Amino acid sequence: MLAKVNSCTLVGLDGVLVEVQVDIYTQAQLPSITVVGLPDTAVREASDRVRSAILNSGLTFPRGKLTINLAPADLRKEGPAFDLPIAVGLLAASGQVQADLAEALFVGELSLDGTVRHVQGVLSIALAARAAGVRTVYVPQEDAPEAALIPDLTVIPVASLARLVTHLRGYHPITPYRQEMDVQQLLQEATYQVDFADIKGQEQAKRALEVAAAGGHNVLMSGPPGAGKTLLARALPSILPPLSLEEALELTRIYSVANLLPSDTPIVQQRPFRAPHHTISYAGLIGGGRIPRPGEITLAHRGVLFLDELPEFGAHMLEMLRQPLEDRTVTLSRASGAITFPANFMLVAAMNPCPCGYYGDPQTPCTCTLSQVHRYQKRISGPLLDRFDITVHVPRVPYDKLADAGSGEPSATIRERVMAARERQRHRFREYPHILTNADMGPKEVRAFCQLDEAGRSLMATAMKQMHLSARAYHRVLKVARTIADLAGADRIDVVHLAEALQYRHRPFDPDA
């Protein structure tokens, strides 16, 4: 007897429907199980898990020659999510379950006792089901809140195979899961570990981060050890606007596929802050593997990627960031095809000015030679430095500011100004759906929205000559100036906005300075 059950597999961040076809040939002399359709090891092992789960659930495992086909056959299948649909297919083919399965989709890993365990990528699976016209999805009980984020779907939480069989037989129906939480309110109530009010001094660096947050710009902080570069970077998410529902769902897909979704909430509540160590591998940073998975730059999507001790990262690793910084996506090519992951993040990096860390410090003398300082700073290539919109020096904090009992401006106040600037950008780019912030503008948009008056053009011409700015740097200065004008509530870029933007450009190492 033949039975067909709908399931789903992941290709990148997208779900692709798979039809699990189960055929039982009872006249075979020897019982056997064959799984075909490009299964990986976890899928091939499903037959052993399914056998034990069916028997331990008080059901009968069918005898005969069992053939399980996962269609389409040319698509690689991986992971244990096919356990539940294979079990349902075997029970349906053997006549132990008689139900209409054509409009339903099943995913779930089975324990040997029949318990249904968590699987990754449930949100992508639910989206694929809805797009294919499937209106009922059977998912592990702990994954039901995640699947219920997608409207117009009936989500059936499955705790065990035995409980699912009673539901399919009509004896004891499972109540569909209903999403009761206010997701919008949940996003507005995001909490942060570090607040700008807790950071003493560093007004210039705080201002630079405010500009960066308002326009989505990349930032490079340089200064002696212990000046607060890492603390400033960790406080940056607290002044970014709260996630919109669309952004939160996009992030939840990524973290669900990467199996990093928090266990206490079905949705990502705040913008990500990723801080990989400098020993990270290429696949860990950019993404990859035999079956490509998101890397840190994709996990930082819509948030912050913080690279501490920037010169310690491998040169090849850093150069790999250049293309994602421009395209806001990363494409991983394999023999089976190419997969594109989103990578629209703010790059925030911190570095010491020299190996000992005290070059230019007024109190602690530097023990490095000029050639050592030059070699250390040359670890960061010019093309990569050119992609930092804002470079800011973070000096040592004096004692009187550290001992001050007062607190600085809280993140909530700064966030209000950032959100006001972002709202101006949203209105400006309402006819450009691919542009969210000033940093996303291309040359065409820069020409349209970053016009300078006569005084501004004169200042920019002088800066181009004296600072040897590239064409990319020219556009990035205008983008930063546009953001500064937005923070000031100005419709046009004034000379004062342009002058502040020019102060944030990186200056090459000068041994005579």
pLDDT digits (tens, 9 = 90+) for 457-501: 999 999 999 988 889 899 999 999 999 999 999 999 999 999 999
**Same domain for 399 and 263:** yes
Number of domains in the chain: 2
We report the CATH number of the domain holding residue 336 as: 3.40.50.300
**Same domain for 339 and 209:** yes
Residue 303 lies in a domain: yes
Looking from the CA of 433 toward its CB, the CA atoms found within 13 Å total 0
We report the CATH number of the domain holding residue 95 as: 3.30.230.10
Residue 372 lies in a domain: yes
Residue 332 lies in a domain: yes
Among 81, 161, 154, 177, smallest CA distance to 120 is for 81
Distance CA 298, CA 328 (A): 10
Distance CA 79, CA 45 (A): 10
**Same domain for 348 and 293:** yes
**Same domain for 213 and 86:** no
**Same domain for 277 and 128:** no
Q: Identify the DSSP state of 313.
A: S
User: Which pTM does this prediction carry?
Assistant: 0.91
Residue 265 lies in a domain: yes
What's the confidence (pLDDT) of residue 511? 54
Domain that holds residue 116: 2-169
What's the confidence (pLDDT) of residue 28? 67
Q: Residue 397: which H helix or E strand, with range?
A: none
**Same domain for 330 and 199:** yes
What's the confidence (pLDDT) of residue 508? 67
Over residues 214-273, the pLDDT tens digits come to: 999 999 999 999 888 999 999 999 999 999 989 999 999 999 999 999 877 889 989 999
**Tokens coding 163:** 């409980």
Biggest distance spanned by C-alpha atoms of the chain: 92
Ranges of beta strands (E only) in 352-439 are 390-393
What's the confidence (pLDDT) of residue 191? 80
Residue 255 lies in a domain: yes
**Same domain for 235 and 124:** no
Q: Identify the DSSP state of 332.
A: E
**Same domain for 138 and 80:** yes
CA distances from 147 to 292, 301, 404 (A): 23, 21, 50
Residue 457 lies in a domain: no
For residue 125, give the amino acid letter.
Answer: I
CA distances from 33 to 36, 76, 310, 391 (A): 10, 19, 53, 62
Give the residue from 411, 439, 455 where a domain finishes: 411
**Tokens coding 436:** 């969210």
**Same domain for 261 and 138:** no
Residue 11 lies in a domain: yes
Residue 477 lies in a domain: no
Q: Identify the DSSP state of 438.
A: G
Q: Collect all residues with Cβ–Cβ distance below 8 Å to 38 and sequence separation of at least 6.
A: 70, 73, 74, 75, 76, 77
Give the residue from 363, 390, 411 where a domain finishes: 411
The H-assigned helical ranges of 157-309 are: 161-169, 183-188, 203-215, 229-235, 245-257, 282-286, 296-299
Distance CA 479, CA 482 (A): 5
**Same domain for 367 and 325:** yes
**Same domain for 198 and 149:** no
DSSP string for 131-145: HTT--EEEEEGGGHH
What's the confidence (pLDDT) of residue 363? 86
Where the chain has pLDDT below 70, the residues are: 28-29, 335-336, 508-513
**Same domain for 205 and 163:** no
